[in-house]
Chain A
């Protein structure tokens, strides 16, 4: 039981990272029905941006006291801004022209973008994993039999807070309303005076900025980053978004946590489970898409013709 509870914590903190990436996936899919395959790589890019900022600030280890808040704020905001702008740039250069093309064209482009980003990062920071300063102290909290690191709490809390903030933004603001309208019917929204290009760019800005934040958090949490991280993390985050119901903000978070839990539990309870986690997660992806393509919280929508 103690082990089970500990694995629950492990799963939730791993899932928190997936959830943060999944939010961006789901937003973009919700509005232009594009599987933005490059999203996982924007997340990795976020960790490299954050690393560059930290290096610039001269941070190489843990930071204490008020300086910690300053360092974290500056780094997170810079990583979010850079990733957000990268996202907007990708949309402008690669996806906008293909908005009315056959559906597979932008998906193929997105895969291409993903390969380009990975290689740019490889050229920038080399092919081996790069170590990342731990920045935030990680005191272990003992809750009865289970140990929770401060960073694990940070990951989980950030995912939940971001999800609520995003919900508020989309359902309580004018811009959010414009996004929902664009998602529902792009042509009608345009007729109502909504600037479609700006709205879609905004979606990419927010989604990619979230990936940037996730990149910083994962860098601090794991203490390392690697140009190829985004491929697998992105794929699992996409699985999370699909599991929760793609296009659904709360679903993305739920899916992220569930995928994290599935991984942790598979590791613990399948004999030699560590080597089977990817097979298990991708089997979940396949099964969900086949048996419940709308996901846990999504509504079943007929395909637009």
Chain B
């Protein structure tokens, strides 16, 4: 009796569900057809003037990661302000639509994917800037690829995002590149790190990473390249999230006698404490080497005097050494009170490229709102674009054709610029 009743209800529920799915497929099509409506909106707005064209910006803007996200967000906004001031063809106005991908203070791939979908579903968004972090980008790339929305990241450096067997895996349009970046990738960063380690005369390295997309990716490349260059990698360990005591790990590392510890990851995920505790276990003489993840103040304050003698690479140029960046640095300081970040100029450049692409598309479309495909085509064709970080363009994978790396050494509690490498192809 009971069971019979249950079965009836289950069937009823299922049929409702199936009906519902049936309805939905029709509404899906109606929705996608509505995507073309902004062109129409653009038409009648010519008279009223100032129709917004949105550029979606997506960075971690709250919590601990905000110190990365906000200076980058500002860079993009500065470019948009300047474009509006200079006047947009067709009388349009650019609007920066910025969303936060940090959840509880940390960049979050699911939140990033969510934000990207919000951009995609808003037909006024013609291009996107962000994200900051590689694992977030990994979640977003299939989405912008499917939607044909141009996306430029200023700072996601993991090489696998654009290169290698996994990059195209499962994309809806494997032949289309919608994700671009103006930063140097970690294969170059890791390789440059390996070369530099060799120049320092290091032969036996121990590799540690924080078990996150960025850190592990960088550490893997370093390991490969250091070995390829004739060095020995004694071991490769991954840290636990939230761990604070690395003495046992360092004892293990010390017993193998490395002359270099390479760390892939950020200061907060263990880099700073690892360096600090090297001093405690009598390893302060061993060189500590990392990527741009330890380029922040947190590394200096937490590791204290132990930080001295560490080296790191930055996947961006040292702005103070670039004449082309002087105006940008001035304009940034005039507009924002947050200090400029290592990737502010990259983000500014990303926005400049997208703005140029959209403006060209507007002109080509008879001063009407262009579609995303036209914008994407223009972004992909970018080459020889003059920017604060030099002359940039994109290669066949969507990566910058002008990768620049800077090397720094920490001396007396301060990062000192060592040299800059231009790996332009």
Direct contact between the two chains A and B in their complex (CB within 8 A): yes
- List chain A positions with a Cβ less than 8 A from chain B: 2-3, 6-7, 10-11, 13-14, 122, 126-129, 131, 134, 138, 140, 147, 149, 222-224, 226, 228-229, 231-232, 263-264, 267-268, 272-275, 277-278
Chain A hits for B272, CB < 8 A: 129, 224
Classify the interface of chain A: helix, strand, loop or mixed: helix
Q: How far is the CB of B10 from chain A (nearest CB, A)?
A: 31
B244 and A226 contacting across the interface, CB-CB below 8 Å:
yes
CA distance A140 to B236 in the complex (A): 28
A274 and B251 contacting across the interface, CB-CB below 8 Å:
no
B276 and A147 contacting across the interface, CB-CB below 8 Å:
no
Chain A residue nearest to B244 in the complex (CB): A222
CA distance A126 to B104 in the complex (A): 11
Is B195 interfacial (CB-CB < 8 Å)?
Answer: no
A127 and B237 contacting across the interface, CB-CB below 8 Å:
no
Q: How far is the CB of A130 from chain B (nearest CB, A)?
A: 8
Q: How far is the CB of A65 from chain B (nearest CB, A)?
A: 21
Is B229 interfacial (CB-CB < 8 Å)?
Answer: no
A10 and B251 contacting across the interface, CB-CB below 8 Å:
yes
Given A127-B105, A140-B282, A223-B276, are A274 and B237 neighbors across the interface (CB < 8 Å)? yes
B244 and A224 contacting across the interface, CB-CB below 8 Å:
yes
CA distance A223 to B104 in the complex (A): 24
Tell me which of B246, B251, B280 contacts A3 (CB under 8 A). B251
CA distance A150 to B241 in the complex (A): 28
Given A7-B248, A14-B248, A267-B248, are A272 and B236 neighbors across the interface (CB < 8 Å)? yes
Chain B hits for A122, CB < 8 A: 105
Known: A134-B304, A223-B276. 6 other contacts (CB 8 A): A3-B255, A10-B247, A140-B282, A224-B272, A274-B237, A278-B243
CA distance A126 to B304 in the complex (A): 19
Chain A hits for B418, CB < 8 A: none
Q: How far is the CB of A229 from chain B (nearest CB, A)?
A: 7
17 sample A-B contacts, Cβ–Cβ < 8 Å, listed by A number: A3-B252, A10-B248, A13-B247, A14-B248, A127-B63, A128-B298, A129-B273, A223-B276, A231-B242, A232-B243, A268-B248, A268-B251, A272-B236, A273-B237, A274-B239, A274-B249, A275-B239
Chain B hits for A263, CB < 8 A: 245, 248
Is B281 interfacial (CB-CB < 8 Å)?
Answer: yes
Chain A hits for B238, CB < 8 A: 272, 274-275
Is B46 interfacial (CB-CB < 8 Å)?
Answer: no
Is B44 interfacial (CB-CB < 8 Å)?
Answer: no
Q: How far is the CB of A254 from chain B (nearest CB, A)?
A: 19
Chain B residue nearest to A119 in the complex (CB): B104
A268 and B236 contacting across the interface, CB-CB below 8 Å:
no
CA distance A268 to B246 in the complex (A): 11
Q: How far is the CB of B273 from chain A (nearest CB, A)?
A: 6
Interface size on B, residues (CB 8 A): 35
Given A138-B280, A274-B239, A275-B238, are A127 and B64 neighbors across the interface (CB < 8 Å)? yes
A222 and B245 contacting across the interface, CB-CB below 8 Å:
yes
Within 8 A of A (CB), among B241-274: 242-249, 251-252, 255, 268, 272-273
Q: How far is the CB of B111 from chain A (nearest CB, A)?
A: 15
Chain A hits for B104, CB < 8 A: 127
Chain B hits for A129, CB < 8 A: 268, 272-273, 298, 302
A267 and B281 contacting across the interface, CB-CB below 8 Å:
no
A275 and B268 contacting across the interface, CB-CB below 8 Å:
no
Chain B hits for A14, CB < 8 A: 245, 247-248
Chain B residue nearest to A2 in the complex (CB): B255
Contact with A along B203-247 (1 / 0, CB 8 A): 000001001000000000000000000000000111110111111
Best-buried of A147, A222, A229, A263 by chain B (most CB within 10 Å): A222
Q: How far is the CB of B290 from chain A (nearest CB, A)?
A: 16
Tell me which of B237, B239, B242, B276 contacts A228 (CB under 8 A). B242
Chain A hits for B240, CB < 8 A: 274-275, 277-278
Best-buried of B105, B236, B251, B277 by chain A (most CB within 10 Å): B251
A131 and B252 contacting across the interface, CB-CB below 8 Å:
no
Given A138-B280, A274-B238, are A11 and B248 neighbors across the interface (CB < 8 Å)? yes
Tell me which of B242, B243, B252, B302 contacts A268 (CB under 8 A). B252
Tell me which of A149, A267, A275 contacts B211 (CB under 8 A). A275
Chain A residue nearest to B104 in the complex (CB): A127
Chain A residue nearest to B300 in the complex (CB): A131
Chain B residue nearest to A232 in the complex (CB): B242
Q: How far is the CB of A221 from chain B (nearest CB, A)?
A: 9
Is B301 interfacial (CB-CB < 8 Å)?
Answer: yes
Q: How far is the CB of A281 from chain B (nearest CB, A)?
A: 10
CA distance A263 to B245 in the complex (A): 10
